[in-house]
Copies of this chain bind each other. A is one copy, B any other.
């Protein structure tokens, strides 16, 4: 496909150049806001070209050429991976899941600021993150007047385009031209004290414009690419994921029966990954109809539910699809465009909207403790895994906050239910439901001492249950106070033991 079909603005067509030429326009030390959310809609050529330039400069003795990298969320090997391999990122925010980035962050070679995804755009507007120098944004096309057809994610692109001094656009002709019209870019945000209510009351509401505004005079380069998004392949649901999904669906049915949820539930938010996909697969076979989703990421399971009709509408900020699902999505995009809207992440994750809609928040975690505190980000207290992402936006403000994990990790060496988590991302005040393949603990309204035995009995793996019950019993005897009884000298000893012996 010729890029000229997609670049309809003559002034911007004149700025077509190679990725290498465009990358050369990014100065060392710049803060660069790139598109990309969960491996969708990230720039694919300029970051790699920039990494090559950095490698050349490294070879010539310049160890200093680095950028600050801001995105929507996680990207892909061509972006985070390529820049991390040349140690080209000084500071990374607000989320990453790249193995090379993770290695550098945990080696103390890259700074990482892990943020609530709903906070990022406003923090940039407020000036809390420093100056944004360059935006590098993938788009599906450029209209004659310079407006942009967004790609397979929206993320923070509106904010990067607004805030950056200079803009580099990657026009990716692999992305379906049919994406046009699927997005809803809300331009009603303001800085306080000038903010107004956000007029969205249903996941299907459109409150903005289908295109991104862009000042053509800020555009310093346009690059043509034709390359697929990172594939997110999912394994077929394993028995553990199926059991977790089963507990959640049973619980939702119970809540409907008790009159605490309408029969079409409330808008679903679902984290990414195999457990989340198993829950969605379960819902697709399950008893609920006319469902909606108000979530960050639309993955395979939701596409299946849209196809089956179980899901009437899905709002997200990004797609995250397997190769097969992406092919289906592109082939049937007219069907999906009536049923999907992609929004900026400040809207998809907005506390105002998550609370108003009453989202059912379902997020994975690394570990929970006996009092219901959840660690979503850290391995053994010190190392980052990925980041908090939007889990806090949804869990704090949703109607229900569900956290899920298998009860064991590392072939049984690690219990995901521990006396005290080694890092807290979601406090006891924000966690209502904990689920493992063993069962579900409903913590609503309970005091800490009531939560502990429930979490252990319902959620911990039997191989760790006696030790946990022993800790609870001894803490109830020996703790200095009994609101949240802890033996501080051994509260983190499970993690210490794992670090020393390889087993908790």
Structural contact, B258 and A381, CB atoms closer than 8 A: no
Chain A residues 82 to 120 lying within 8 A of chain B, measured CB to CB, are: 91, 93, 105-108, 111-116, 119
Q: How far is the CA of A127 from the CA of B450 in the complex (A)?
A: 19
Mark each residue of chain A from 169 to 194: 1 if its CB lies under 8 Å from any CB of chain B, else 0. Answer: 00000000000000000000001110
A106 and B499 contact, Cβ closer than 8 Å, known pairs A445-B129, A488-B381: no
CB distance from A414 to the nearest CB of B (A): 14
A197 in complex: contacting residue of B199, B432, B486, B489, CB < 8 Å: B199
Does A339 count as interface, using CB distance less than 8 angstroms? no
CB distance from A229 to the nearest CB of B (A): 27
Mark each residue of chain A from 459 to 485: 1 if its CB lies under 8 Å from any CB of chain B, else 0. Answer: 000000000000000011001111111
Which segment of A33-41, A141-149, A320-328, A350-358 sits at the interface?
Answer: A350-358
Does A501 count as interface, using CB distance less than 8 angstroms? no
Residues on the B chain within 8 Å of A198, using CB: 197
CB distance from A433 to the nearest CB of B (A): 11
Mark each residue of chain A from 357 to 400: 1 if its CB lies under 8 Å from any CB of chain B, else 0. Answer: 11000000000000001000011111110001000100011010
Structural contact, A488 and B422, CB atoms closer than 8 A: yes
* Majority-rule SS of A interface residues: loop
A201 and B191 contact, Cβ closer than 8 Å, known pairs A128-B260, A444-B123, A488-B422: no
Does A195 count as interface, using CB distance less than 8 angstroms? yes
A192 in complex: contacting residue of B192, B356, B396, CB < 8 Å: B356
Structural contact, A130 and B425, CB atoms closer than 8 A: no
* A contact residues, range: 35 or more
Which segment of A159-167, A279-287, A309-317, A490-498 sits at the interface?
Answer: A490-498
Residue of B nearest to A499 (CB): B480
Q: How far is the CA of A266 from the CA of B481 in the complex (A)?
A: 40
Q: How far is the CA of A94 from the CA of B193 in the complex (A)?
A: 31
Q: How far is the CA of A236 from the CA of B379 in the complex (A)?
A: 47
Q: How far is the CA of A256 from the CA of B117 in the complex (A)?
A: 26
A496 and B492 contact, Cβ closer than 8 Å, known pairs A357-B192, A357-B193, A449-B108: no
- Between-chain CB contacts (< 8 Å), 8 pairs: A111-B449, A197-B356, A380-B481, A383-B484, A384-B481, A384-B483, A488-B495, A492-B492
Residues of A within 8 A of B (CB): 91, 93, 105-108, 111-116, 119, 123, 126-130, 191-193, 195-199, 201-202, 258-260, 262, 266-267, 350-352, 355-358, 373, 378-384, 388, 392, 396-397, 399, 422-430, 432, 444-447, 449-450, 475-476, 479-486, 488-489, 491-493, 495-496, 499
